[in-house]
Structures are given as C-alpha cells and as structure tokens.
Structure 1
Amino acid sequence: MGMTDTANEIASQPETWARAASVDGAALVAPGKRVLVLGCGTSWFMAQSLAELRESAGFGETDAVCASEFVPRRRYDRVIAITRSGTSTEVLDALRQIPAGTHRVAITAVDGEPVDGLVEERILLDFADERSVVQTRFPTTLLAVARRAYGEDLSHLVADGEAALAAQLPGDISTTEHLVFLGTGWTVGLAHEAALKVREAAQAWSESYPAMDYRHGPVAVAGARSLVWAFGAVPESLDEPIRGAGATPVRNGLDPLAQLVLAQRFAVALAERKGLDPDRPRLLTRSVILTQP
C-alpha cells in the first residue's frame, strides 16, 4: 500500500487492537438491560454488529438503528451512540430525543466534542482516531473492545491482523469490476462496511447481503468480473452458485476483523489503480454536519 493516511491507518490496526485490550468496555455490557445502538454510515454498520454480538452473548435485547431514522417509539434502558468525530448531526439529534432517565453512552475518538454533553458515560478511543475521511481502524477497534467485553478470547486477533496485512490480495484487481460481501450474524455489519469502503475509496460497484439471502435475487448480476467475499462462518454451499454465475468466491480462515482489513486493502488498491486518492473520497467529509433550516 502507498503512503496515504488511509493505507497507514489500515496498517496500524493490529497495534490498535492490541491497545484495545486495556479499554474498559463494561458500558457496552449492562446485563439484562434493553439497549439501543445508534450510528450513521460506518457507525451504523458497527451498531448492527455490536447489537448482534451483545444479544447473542446473552446480555439482553439489543436493537441497532440508523440515527437519521430514529424515532423514540420504544423504551430502552440504555442507548449507545457511535460517532468517531462526536459531531455528526443525526447522532446528536437522536440523542437529544432520548427520554430522561435513559442511560446514554458514546463511543467516540475525539475528546471535548458536542456528544460529550449529551451522554452520561463515554468510551474514548482516541488512539484509534483517523486523519482519513474513510474509516478503517476506529470501527474495527471498537468491535475489538466490544467482543472482549462480551467474553470472547481474542488472543489470535493481532496475529490474524498482521497476516491480513501481509497476504496477497485475492482475485485479479485489473479485471475485477464488481465486489459482493456476505456475512452472517454479527459479520453482516462487516459485509456492509466492506462494501461501503469500496464505494467510498474506489467509487466502484459493490454490494453486501446476509449470506443466505444472496441466492434470493442478487446472484443474478454476478459474473466473470465479480468477487464474492465471505465474512465469518458463511456456508460453503454458497460457493457452487457463485461459481455457477462465473464469479470467484473469496474465503480465508482469518478472524472476521482481519478479513475486513483485507477488504480495506483491496479498496485502496482499486482506488489507486483507478488514479483516485483514497484520502480524498468524492463528495465525502470526515463528519456530516447539517445546517439547520
């Protein structure tokens, strides 16, 4: 990878994951509490993964909602807002609608921003903050914090991240025009995030789906210039219809967060091949701050 901020931040992930081991993630657990997780863009996809991880670990009902679509119809004991910058308008607006008495938690990378005044508790991942508009290490680091908090053994994670940085990129980047990412359980959010990286950095055609839904229509557009990536425990039975469409399935035995690193690298490499600067994605800014009418 080149010396762009995006490439450097992708390469730093094993280090930030190692540092995540010392972060207190107790605010993400709250056993028995009904929890809502909010975010926009990448943070919304991380909210989906976090919600699935928490609920499947047995800590209680957990919903994930895109902050711009939040309507205060349901009662929650705790709301977790994910916002790298601490300034995203839709996240702040959603927090302002949370009923009094609900415990509010922010996961952010920057100290002293507006989100601080809207929450009772905060997890600050300033060591995983990014210069790049395109998020890479902040979202993966927050999931490393959450997974440890939910009781997972991540002793393999740093080594898998380093392996993903050293691995050869799959497929043929010179002929690939279409990328599809599939996940199951908590890795569905990772699949959505991988597809977003390709769109943001490389302005390329990418899709993402829950794995077993891929055969219910989306496989129809796959062809010889398609790579179909599996995140986590995606059934191998899907490889047959993928190959039948002329596409190439992509699998490896790395941790799903490390699999995402490989997809991030692919997005940057594809951007550079197209003459694009991944540090300056088209029409995007580090934080979406809306002007009130």
Structure 2
Amino acid sequence: MSQPTSYQKVPGVIMALSSAIFWGISGTCAQFLFEKKGLDPAWLVTWRMCIAGWILISFSLIQERKTAFEIWRKPKNALRLLLFGILGMVAVQYTYFYSISLSNAATATILQYIGPVFVVAFYAIKHRKWPILIEYAALFLALSGTFLLVTHGSTEELVISEKAIFWGILSALALAFYTIQPVGLLRTFSPAAVTGWGMLIGGVTFSLVTQPWYFSGTWDWETWAAFTYIVVFGTVLAFYFFLKSVTIIGATKASLLTSVEPLSAAVTAVFWLGVSFLALDWLGTGLILGTVILLTLGKSSGESTLQE
C-alpha cells in the first residue's frame, strides 16, 4: 500500500490542528461558565462525560456494531475499563476543570501539559532504565516553564495561588495515569469504544456524588452555547478529529500538532475573557510546549523510555 502524498496528508494536518484548537477553546468556555455564570466544575464534568460518552458509544455502535460490547466479555477487560472510567476519566476531567476555576484556562491547560514528564518517569521506573538525554532536556524545560508560569521569575512570591498550583500539578498526574492505564485496552479495542465507555462510567459514577440533576448558576443562551461547545466541539469532535488525523499522518505528527492546545487556550482566554498574560507567561508556555515536542521526538526515535 502506497504512502499518502503531502497533498493527501493536508486533511490530517487540519484535523489535528482543529482538535487542539477545539480542546483549548473548551477550556476557556469552562472558565467563562465558572466565572460569569456560576456553574460548578463537578456538575460540568459530570454532564460532559455522560453526554459525550453516550455520543461516542453510539458512534462506536454504528461503526462497529456488536464489537462495541466485546470489551465487557472478559472480566479482566471489564475491570480495566471500570478503573479507567472511575480513576482515569473522572480524575483527569475534574482536576483540569477545578484547576481552571482556581486560576484560568490558559494556566490550567499549560500546567496539565507537564503530564508527559510523569509518563516518562513512570516508564523509566518500570523498565529500570535511565531516561535518555532528550528526556532530561524535556524535564528541564518543563520545570523551567512551570517556574516562570507560577512565579514570573521571582523566588519570593507566587502569581497564582498554591491551591491552583496543587490542582494543576494533580491534573498533570491524572493526565499521565489517563495516558498509561488504558494502553492494554486500546491495543485490542477501538479508541471510540474505550473512551466512550470510560466517559459514561465516569459520568454515572461521579453523578452519585455531584447530583447533576440539580442545576445551579445562571442559564441563558450564552450558558447553553458554551456548554454545548464543550460537549460537542471540545469533546466529541475534538476526539474524533484527533483519531482520524492519526490514521492519516501518524501518531507522532498528530501529537506534535495538538501541542498548540495551550496556545489556543491562552489566546482565547486573553482576548475573550481578558486574562492577563505577560511576556514571562508566554515564555513559560513556550518552554512547556518544547517539552511535548522533545518527548514526541524522543518517542519516535525508538530509544525513549516512553516505549512500552
């Protein structure tokens, strides 16, 4: 089978960039709902997972029919899926949105992008193998970028609250777990089925705590528009476009292109919500994005500790 030409890869590039932009803007929409409309982060996470989960499972049923339920046949796979939904999906969604509510969409998204560093650390320990040079460089960039983002270069004060930093780092750890835990499932079952079931399980489980049938905040056309965007564009379409782009241009290039997500969140937060973002914030953002680029290149080289 012939490799796709540069012209044939254009749709894949557009889809990867679109998914990153959709994800970034959805973070800003969440900030808008928290700050301007008084919505609760836990409530938003619950409904986002439940609705998007149903949509993705429906999509999986249409595309795969009976195979969408194959994941439940073996107890081992069912247990993995339950853990992914409850500990992975809920954790990564809630810590991210709560981090936004404590700071802003740009800062929370950028802090979450430290997650790949924790993935590297996990595989280094698992394989008892020291990280390669490019991964040490990525760690340095991540730490430097985070320092600039939360201190603006000062060793005496923080520019965001300690609570926001804590939840931002927790979000990065949750992202690492979310990335590592379902690897076994994704080798056998489609991403749409795994993610759809994971979201639905997480949403239903979290609803026992959040009681999402009680609406809070101000509900008008702006609220509905932002909420719909988060579910449809920021979850379902972003996920579908990213997966489709991987089939066209490959996982490495797709991952590199989606690293514009923090930039998307930062730009929309600055120009839409008036978030203050100084030169040092942009520099910190650039350093953390450099982390993603280096780790992706390290993974593609075949020598990285990211290899399973």
Q: Same fold (TM over 0.5)?
A: no
* Larger proportion of strand: 1
Greater fraction helix: 2
| TM-score, normalised by the number of residues in structure 1 | 0.27
